[in-house]
Structure 1
């Protein structure tokens, strides 16, 4: 056992230095983490008309619940973008444990540095000033017909094609969904 100690220590030190060398994504946090109830996630995906095989991006994916439900229930190609390293790891681990790696992915990165041009649907639960910040980027990138479902906060300067109010179902607050079609 004592002979193995240097080897064990060497392996441990390599693991620590590799972890320290992994660059953490930089960028501005566009919203606090506030999990969307599963019932609202399902309504968002239905409201956005998500179909089997479509590409969906969840901007600020948190614990990955939108991505996971999109892949599991709707059989979509789902990608989340999450800046927070812990939430990224949590959601990636959950995707692996559910065996969804083929259809569900999380990018540990900055929303403003991504390409959403292949999207059929975007889901967004960001603050109003954050929606305003990403709006010009989305206007440049999104193809005609791309659908955007915004949870609770509208995109200033855009007119929603549809709105849906979800009354409080016992969780303590109501929700509003806004559907935009580019």
Structure 2
């Protein structure tokens, strides 16, 4: 049934396009990587997890389902935002997660206690000043595969031959 709902949503939204081209094209974060990202960030029910470039919303939905955290996904593609909202409703966490259609460079992330990324090395480097400026001390940033500029990670794990990095804002 979930597949039918997603296909229906894709059909309805086929003519919608992002306001401007995304820096990164969607690829779903593998489930073991999503799990590892949230574990490495030590997500709890007290956290507000933001996923910048949230795609199908799986990271913030998982954070809400497994840890009881609040979640905010920021995604430029309206089709993916619609799918994320539908999956959140089906997963019974629509009251704990929000999806914002917009540019991750323009989104207010100041309420985040955890920020999840799977972008690229160059986009992460461009995000560095925003992360420093908007995140409070103690906020954690977790990235699948790509470092953030010259930041040295506080922790690093390998999952399915891929890197997951963690930084804590000082």
- TM-score, normalized by the shorter chain, greater than 0.5: yes
The correspondence for 1:76, drawn from 44, 69, 82, is: 69
User: Separation in 2 of the partners of 1:57 and 1:148?
Assistant: 9
Tell me which residue corresponds to 1:180.
Answer: 167
Note if contact 2:17-2:79 (Cα within 8 Å) is conserved in structure 1: no
| Counterpart-to-counterpart distance in 1, 2:125 and 2:133 | 14
Aligned residue pair count: 155
Return structure 1 stretches of 4+ with deviation > 3 angstroms. 23-28
Partner of 2:9: none
Instruction: Report the TM-score, using the length of structure 1 for normalisation.
Output: 0.80
> RCO higher in 1 or 2 (8 Å CA, sep ≥ 6)?
2
Q: CA RMSD for the aligned pairs?
A: 1.7
How far 1:45 sits from its partner (Å)? 0.2
Q: What secondary structure does 1:112 align onto?
A: coil
- Deviation (angstroms), 1:94: 1.0
1:108 is aligned, of 101, 121, 135, to 101
Task: List gaps (5 residues or longer) in structure 2.
Answer: 1-12
Contact 1:25 1:110 (C-alpha < 8 Å) held by counterparts: no
Note closer, same or farther for the CA distance 1:27–1:112 as it changes in structure 2 (3 Å cut): farther
Instruction: Say which one has the larger Rg.
Output: 1
Instruction: Return 5+ residue gaps in structure 1 as ranges.
Output: 1-18, 169-173
- In the other structure, the counterpart of 1:55 is 48
